[in-house]
Structure 1
Amino acid sequence: MAAIPTQRESDTYARAAQGRATLPGSPMAPGSARSLVRSAFGEWTGRGLITPDAAARLRDDAMAVVSELVTNAVVHAGTDVEVAWRLEESGAFVVEVSDHHPARPPRDPAGGDGPCDVPEYGRGLRLVATFADSWGVTYRTGAKTVWARLPAGGRPEPVRPGTAHTLDAAEALAPQPQRPGVERDWLGRGALSFLAEASDLLAGQLDENLVTALTGQLIVPRLADWCAVWLEDEASARGGDGGGPARVWHASENRIEELHRALEKDPPRPRDGIRSGPEPYPWPGEALGPAGVRGSALAYRLVAGGRPLGTLVIGRCGPAGFPDEVTGLVEDLGRRVALAIGAARQYTRQVTISAVLQRGLLPGAVAEIPGMRSALVYEPCDSGGPSGDFYDLFPAGDGRWCFAIGDVQGKGPEAAVVIGLARPWLRLLAREGYRVADVLDRLNQLLLDDATEAADAAARALVAAGGRPVAPGDGPQTRFLSLLFGELTPFEGGVRCTLASAGHPLPLLLRPDGEVRTAACPQTLLGVVEDEAYVSETIELRPGDSLLCVTDGVTERRSGSSQFDDGDGLARALSGCAGLSAERIAGRIRRLVHDFGGGVPEDDLALLVLQAE
């Protein structure tokens, strides 16, 4: 193919405006490229380099072409891509997409090597050719550039306002009602851009209800006068009654309620097998008023991963029905809707499992201790998986209570495994009468033994599968745990506290006069050193004394290069809490930690205040 002309080769390519960006070779690259081009057209319009009408004529085609070129570059090469664009003085738009893959000679279909665009990803280049008056591939040293030139001209379309809100964005994208002639022209020129941007809009949603709401905004009124979405769970997908539609839209809002009632009485009945459609659907004429006596409706099964997730039904009034271009476009859109619903459901399942797991890893209630008040703050930073921080406060028998606050290396399932081991063993050993130091000794050995067994099991499984034996250090990592563990024994006039810290931020003791000191000595993390011998210390908490126990989400809270505990920051903050109740101390420390970083904490946060009364 011909090489793209340079400015020296043709004055036609004199650049009145230009831009360039490097994008990572990922599925997000086409969407990023479209955003850049959209912004460029807005800038050019604002600078008077192109009229709003001319920008509207070019913008949709430009974004579709950029999307196809970037998609082909990313899928073909799998590397970072460079996108360059410019607006010529003539009003034409030129875009070049270069990947960083080593250049290879172009294959000549006439030379007997076969066509070069057999893979599915090459199909889009033929779409580029239908938009561009010229396009080609230029091979340079170490790079390949695919370019296209869109001429000025075309049908004017109104500029769609940009908006940050998701539903507003969908409404702006779904555009104008159908009109003969105009619709066919849009289907030929703007449908690709519409489908690409709709895909981006749907792909970022993690709530299936929002996905269905976006679906209606995208389809009505551009593609249909009304539409509805039925959602299926596993039971209904196996043949149960799907019930009424989850969402119903109509171009006239006063028709939605009546249409919903009519559709509820006649849910779609998909044929055997999984087919995305379209299939005829009974026309609910009575619910659409005098103008809706005649019309046609089509049902599309929403399928993702081989599983039916629901049904999309679209309807259009009048005898003309749906053009083939619309039915094909809605089928493509339906596939993307199904993928978004499937992803949202998977996310919801993961969040639910994580929440159930998290509840099982933490105590159902915090014990009340005679002569003491306690206050707890617990804020996991990620709702999508179990936190690495945990706490406990429980009766140990014989007039004793025990408390623990710990932090596991990592998060998610690995953290859950360690917490699932540590909490029950802490309770069991404490209730069996073991001293604080002995509890840590045994828990340390338990973590080491468990990690060794896990590594041995992994090595055996690998050898059994024909892999090489695992060398020392190549297997599962040791499960580290930082822990502050203590025992509380109330006596007349106070509470005796015996405690030990294993690799954990040291507890701070606040006296009523504002004096603050550490209440334990630092020792090694649990699960690191074999046969480590831990020691404990005992202090007496008198009325008004407060003990503050935290995880490193407090001490290591960052603000730029500084941490909250730099220069004994936590001790100074606690000193200012003299005279406050346990609840108010916990609340003030939490607020100071949040304010220090100026944003949402990036680590789990847990703090426990124990105050003698």
Structure 2
Amino acid sequence: MDEESVDRSEGFGERLLGLLLDRAPHLPPQLIAPLIAEEVGRVGGRDVSILLQDYAQELLVPLPGKKLRVTQPEPVNGSAAGRAFLRGEAVEVPLARGGLRMHLPLLDGSDTVGVMVLTLDNVGEDDRRLLRRLAGLVADLLVTKSAYTDQFFLARRREPMSVSAEIQWGLLPPLTMTLPQVAVAGILEPAYRAAGDSFDYALNDNILHMAVIDAMGHGLDAAVMATVAIGAYRHARRVFVSLAEKYTYMDDAISGQFGPDHFVTAQLMHLNLATGELELVNAGHPAPLLIRDGKVVRQLESATTLPVGFGGEEPRIREHTLQRGDRVLCYTDGIIEEHIAGGELFGEEGLVRCVNRLGERPSEGMRADLRRLSHTLKRERGGRTSDDATLFMIEWRGGAADHLAVLD
């Protein structure tokens, strides 16, 4: 197309979204809500609510703000807002008096941070497209501005949070990442009292780097040790050392800072997105479970080295080959070492039983499936989580994503 023939005039949709983009750099956090409500009003919307996920992943909590509609929190299970949140798709509910209530997921990348809800008298495909894009901008704005304010954090918090949990939530990456080739999701319990458990991941070119850790002890001491372990892991990852050398970096940091009587168990992994080859180092952790077609096939065994901090030898790497659609479930010992009624240990058998039972139901996506597993496990343990309990799941899908970089 001739460069001079390209239409660069500003249409209605560009003006609407452009206003938000233009003002975003200078917008104080408390003015986000009024601006969003104003933008929605320009497409005929009203009664706008912004719902954010609480830390226990049980409720969607309304964000207070001028011009926003503030209602009671909505349960993630069984609500239209919850369906939009878990599926990452818009959900429309017709109203008895006419019009409809739209629930739009707020997607930051592929992580859903909340739901935008609004009422429209009429909606067409142009409205749906524009509102979907507006919701994406709102999500980015909320995530960006959260670095400058406690407002969004306070809305999400439903009970007092320990100092150690504050540290851990500040340390975690986004809880979910969903791409054409791979998906990951993680859950940390107890949400408001977590201490030594953590996980981390990063996608660098075609390799997904992952780590799950469990620092010894409880409270603030465990949180500090976990912070050092994750910091050392990230440093090692960013200087491009091998998987085995990552263990050594972490081991040196923990032993050097805390001495010989402190340790962190860890699983370190590399997943090649093109081939499904999974490299695994296990430093005193329970072995991950391989899930295929909803059922646990086996443990992913590896030569277990000493926990991080004990000065173990360079670990041997075990390689596993995944099939498309395979899921790998990593977990910390707080999941299986809880005692249930009668003093019986919940154990790995209890975990496998829950995974297999839930695998008989249709998948609702990684986030929803892992959340459902976490809540089911907690019920099976009698509602108790005495120790930190972390679940981290990977699903390898294969294929390629190059087509996303090509404009139609």
TM-score after normalising by structure 1? 0.35
Q: Which amino acid aligns with 1:605?
A: A
2:295 maps to 1:487: no
Q: CA deviation at 1:366?
A: 4.7
Match of 1:376 in 2: 186
Match of 2:344 in 1: 562
Match of 2:392 in 1: 608
Residue from 314, 327, 334 that aligns with 1:553? 334
Q: Which has the higher contact order (CA 8 A, sep 6+)?
A: 2
Match of 2:310 in 1: 529
Residue from 349, 352, 361 that aligns with 1:571? 352
SS at match of 1:498: strand
Alignment of structure 1 residues 128-139 onto 2, 5 Å: none
Residue from 345, 353, 362 that aligns with 2:172? 362
Q: CA deviation at 1:351?
A: 4.5
1:583, 1:399 → 2: CA distance?
Answer: 22
SS at match of 1:375: strand
Contact 2:175–2:187 (CA under 8 A) maintained in structure 1: no
Deviations 1:205-245 (A, max 9, x none): xxxxxxxxxxxxxxxxxxxxxxxxxxxxxxxxxxxxxxxxx
Alignment of structure 1 residues 204-353 onto 2, 5 Å: 351=161, 353=163
Contact 2:190–2:385 (CA under 8 A) maintained in structure 1: no
2:368, 2:176 → 1: CA distance?
Answer: 18
Q: CA deviation at 1:381?
A: 6.0
Alignment of structure 1 residues 444-463 onto 2, 5 Å: 444-452=251-259
2:210 maps to 1:403: yes
2:162, 2:350 → 1: CA distance?
Answer: 37
RMSD (CA atoms): 2.9
Q: Structure 1 regions of 5+ residues with no counterpart?
A: 1-349, 453-476
1:572, 1:549 → 2: CA distance?
Answer: 16
2:228, 2:383 → 1: CA distance?
Answer: 33
SS at match of 1:554: coil
SS at match of 2:295: coil
Aligned identity (percent) is 26
When residues 376 and 527 of structure 1 are mapped into structure 2, their CA distance, relative to the original with a 3 A threshold, is closer
Q: CA deviation at 1:527?
A: 3.8
Match of 1:582 in 2: 366
Q: CA deviation at 1:548?
A: 0.5
Match of 2:239 in 1: 432
SS at match of 1:407: strand
SS at match of 2:267: strand
Deviations 1:438-458 (A, max 9, x none): 211332232222224xxxxxx
Q: Which amino acid aligns with 1:362?
A: L
Q: Which amino acid aligns with 1:389?
A: D
2:313, 2:178 → 1: CA distance?
Answer: 33
Q: Which amino acid aligns with 1:394?
A: A
SS at match of 2:198: strand
Choose 1 or 2 for highest CA Rg: 1
When residues 603 and 445 of structure 1 are mapped into structure 2, their CA distance, relative to the original with a 3 A threshold, is same
Q: Which amino acid aligns with 1:535?
A: R
2:382 maps to 1:598: yes
Q: Which amino acid aligns with 2:267?
A: L
Q: CA deviation at 1:483?
A: 0.8
SS at match of 1:506: coil
SS at match of 2:199: strand
When residues 528 and 354 of structure 1 are mapped into structure 2, their CA distance, relative to the original with a 3 A threshold, is closer
Residue from 222, 245, 250 that aligns with 1:415? 222
1:420, 1:513 → 2: CA distance?
Answer: 34
2:252, 2:164 → 1: CA distance?
Answer: 28
Residue from 367, 383, 388 that aligns with 2:196? 388
Deviations 1:34-73 (A, max 9, x none): xxxxxxxxxxxxxxxxxxxxxxxxxxxxxxxxxxxxxxxx
SS at match of 2:335: helix
Contact 1:436–1:487 (CA under 8 A) maintained in structure 2: yes
